[in-house]
Each structure stands twice: as C-alpha cells, then as structure tokens.
Structure 1
Amino acid sequence: MNRYFKSAYLFGLLGGIMGLISFIVLTFLREDPTNLNLIFGYVIVPISLYLALRYFKDYTNSGYISFAEGMSVGFVTYMFIALLSFVGIWLILNLSPDLFELIKASKVQALIESKETIVSQVGTESYDATLESVQNMVKTDIAINDSIWKIIPGLFFTIIISIILRKNPN
C-alpha cells in the first residue's frame, strides 16, 4: 500500500509547501492575500496532481495506472495539500494576529463597498447575515476556506488527470 502513496506524499508535500510560500509572499504584496492565494491554488493543485500521478505511473507502477489507482493517489495528494495549507495558514495567522485583523477588515470593507449589488441579488437579510458572519470570523475560518478550495478543484482535476493518464496492462 505504501508504494501507492509514495508519490502522493511527495507531491502533496511539494504542493502544500508551494501553497504556503504563495500565501507568505502574497502577505507582503497585498493586504488580503487569501483571494489571490486561491488562484495560485488552482495552478498548484493540478500541477501537483499531474506530477504525482505521472510519477506513480512511470516510476512505481511500470507504466500503468488504472482509474481507481489514479483516484486513490490523487485523493491523498490533494488532501495532503489541503491539510498542509490548513495547518500552515492557521499557524501564520496565529503568529501574526495583525495579519488576521487586516484580512478580516478587508473582507468587511469589500462587503460594505458591494452592498448595493449584493442586496439587489440576494436581499437585505442575506447581506446582513453575511456581514455578521464575516465580522465574527475566526482564524480557523480562513484556513478551512483555503483548504476547501484545494479539495474541490483537487477532486475535479484528479478525475480528469486519472482518465487522461489511465493505461491498463491489458
């Protein structure tokens, strides 16, 4: 079983580290690094998944990979990326409470600036509930949100890449 996940751990670790590096770099460049970090996640996750699945196929499994093997290796890879992202961002925000307050203020300000548009689309009650939710946000919320946005595209890209790389020994 370990041979199935060697590449998943390796490239999951690489993807998680790259995600944290992007968060740290964006922290110095922007007030709220979370939104742009999600975009970098959409690049990092599929690249890490492709490398993990390709490595597994070429170097661990004699040039073959089934859809099920691809899904298994991909699942471990994107979950590892999400877990590292969660822990890293949570630690960064706990070590830098000022950064958390800047992110929170930026999100509240964005909601206030977009109030008319949001109210016209979803109504006043939904806007007020969202504003209250953002004002009550905690550090874990930011880390969980980033992790979720690594898992969702991770599943999507795992399916696609597993189909593309699939080659059975028959």
Structure 2
Amino acid sequence: MNRYLRAAWPFGLSGAGLCLLGFLTMYILDVEPLSMNLILGYLFIPVFVFFGIKGFRDGYNGGTLYFSQGMTVGFVVYTLMAVLSALYVYLFLHLDPTAFEAFKQVNLNLMEDNRQILEEQLNETAYSQTFDSLRAMNRLDVAVNDFLRKIFPGLFFTIIISIILKRTVKS
C-alpha cells in the first residue's frame, strides 16, 4: 500500500495546490471564486488522476497496471484534492464572510430570475423547498458541496483512466 501512496501523494497535493492557486487568482481578479473552483476541479482532476496512475504504472509497478491498482491510486489522488479543496474553501469562507454572502446572494438571485422556468420543470413545492434550503445554507454546506463535486467526477474519471492505462504482462 505504501507504493500507492508514494505514487499518488505528489499528484494529489499538486492538484489541490493548483486548484487553490486558481481559486485565489479568481478572487484577486474579482471573479466569484466558489463557482469557478468547481470548474477548475473538473479540469484539473482528470489531468492529475491520469498522471498519478501513469506515474504509478511506469515508476512504481514496472510498466504494468491492473484496474484495481489504477483505482487505488486514482482514489488517493482525487480524494486528497477534494479534501484539501473543501478545507481551503471552508477556511476562506470564515476569513472572508462577505464572499460567502455574495455567493449565497448570487445563487438566490439566479433562482429568483429563473423562477418560472424552474416551477414549470419541477413544481412550486420543489422550487420553494430548494429556495428555502439555499436561504438556510451555511459555510459548511458550501465546503461539503465542493468536496462532493470533486469526489464524484474523480471516481468517474478514475474508472475511465484506469481502463485506458491498464496494462498486464502476458505469460
């Protein structure tokens, strides 16, 4: 198990660092960083999972890779990225409460602007419940949402990449 962690650790940390750098860049450029952080995660997770699994296959496993090995390395990479991302989002929201209020207000305004469309697609009760849950949203909810929006795509990309990079030795 140690070689899996050694192979995955640098890619998980690098991916999380790059997501943080992108997050801070968006904040400095006065672009709403919380929504952009999700997009950055969708871009960076497959790249770092790919290189983590490939690095394990080529550097730690003699050029062979079983599906389960790829899944293990990929899991460590995307989980590390998701945990660190959620942690810095949570800390950021506590350090800058106005960013949280702005994010919340943007989402509430978006729901208000699309009220008619959403009520037609869902129903009035579902719209009201969603709107009320948005109003009751707290900082931890945003961090958990960020975590989940990195975990599920990470699993999807890891499955695909593990299949693509799978290589076994023929006897």
Shorter-normalised TM range = over 0.9
Within 2, Cα distance between the matches of 1:152 and 1:72? 15
Q: Note the alpha carbon deviations across 1:116-157, whole angstroms, 9 max, x for none.
A: 111111111111111111111001111111111111111111
Within 2, Cα distance between the matches of 1:99 and 1:35? 11
**Contact 1:82-1:147 within 8 A present in 2 as well:** yes
**Contact 2:34-2:89 within 8 A present in 1 as well:** no
Q: Does structure 1 residue 49 correspond to structure 2 residue 49?
A: yes
Q: Does structure 1 residue 144 correspond to structure 2 residue 149?
A: no
- List alignment gaps of at least 5 residues for structure 2: none
Q: Note the alpha carbon deviations across 1:12-58, whole angstroms, 9 max, x for none.
A: 11111111222222223355322232222111000010010011011
Within 2, Cα distance between the matches of 1:113 and 1:85? 30
Within 2, Cα distance between the matches of 1:78 and 1:147? 10
Give SS of 2:11's match. Answer: helix
Q: TM-score, normalised by structure 2?
A: 0.95
Kindly report structure 1 stretches of 4+ aligned residues shifted beyond 6 Å: none
Alignment partner, residue 77 of structure 2? 77
User: Aligned pair count?
Assistant: 170
Within 2, Cα distance between the matches of 1:138 and 1:130? 14
Alignment partner, residue 167 of structure 2? 167
**Contact 1:78-1:154 within 8 A present in 2 as well:** yes
Alignment partner, residue 101 of structure 1? 101
Q: TM-score, normalised by structure 1?
A: 0.95
CA RMSD across the alignment: 1.2
Which residue identity does 1:119 align to in structure 2? E
Among all aligned residue pairs of Structure 1 and Structure 2, give the percentage whose two residues are the same amino acid: 38
Within 2, Cα distance between the matches of 1:31 and 1:166? 40
Q: Which moved more, 1:74-83 or 1:17-26?
A: 17-26
Which residue identity does 2:56 align to in structure 1? F
Within 1, Cα distance between the matches of 2:106 and 2:11? 33
Give SS of 1:89's match. Answer: helix
